[in-house]
Amino acid sequence: GQDSRRGQLALEDIVREGRDSSLQRMALYLLADARRDAAQEEAFRSFLSTLIENPNNPLRDEMLMLRARLRLNEARQEKAIVDAERLLAEFPASQFSNEALWILGYVAWQDRRYRSAADYLQRIRDRLPPGNERNRLGQLVGDCYFSNGDYAIAASVYRSVLQNAPDPERLHVVAYQAIISEINAGRLDEAAA
């Protein structure tokens, strides 16, 4: 099993030497989920780092994302940022690029760098088709600008979301935020409209 050292060695061998990427992926996540003490955690991170540096590894982008998630969970934000940025630079078309942008946006939000967070979220939003998820991200982008005190920009983003038929359950929230943003921007006529 994945909790025994023998099982972990077998799974590591599958990840390192396997030919079937879906089997390698399964073994990788079993290893990541295995319960460990601090020394085993460090050994897993080292194993993962070694595999990431192998240019022939077909799962490098996924491993970068996994390591970024682990680092984020361990409150090692700076290292998570490095992995997310590396994933975006080396694998711009990766299926994990949106998740890397989420990590960068989350860390920026936590650091109160709201404009940076808005930029990362907008990059994700630009990739999405029209719909509720895109509108929800638009609202988050507006919230970032609002939190930064950029009320005119926030109002513009909220209006854009309102024009694209937001989820009816969120409509009143977005409309309220748009009105408050217009008031804070000193544009009372727009707020009244």
Rounded mean pLDDT, 118-145: 94
Binned at pLDDT 50, 70 and 90, residue 56 comes out as confident
Q: CB of 25 within 8 A of CB of 59?
A: yes
Q: CB of 52 within 8 A of CB of 60?
A: yes
d(CA 125, CA 119): 10
Binned at pLDDT 50, 70 and 90, residue 58 comes out as confident
Most confident of 73-77, 125-129, 141-145: 141-145
Q: Where do we find the tokens 């409209």?
A: 193
With pLDDT > 70 as the criterion, what percentage of the chain qualifies? 97
| pTM (predicted TM-score) | 0.86
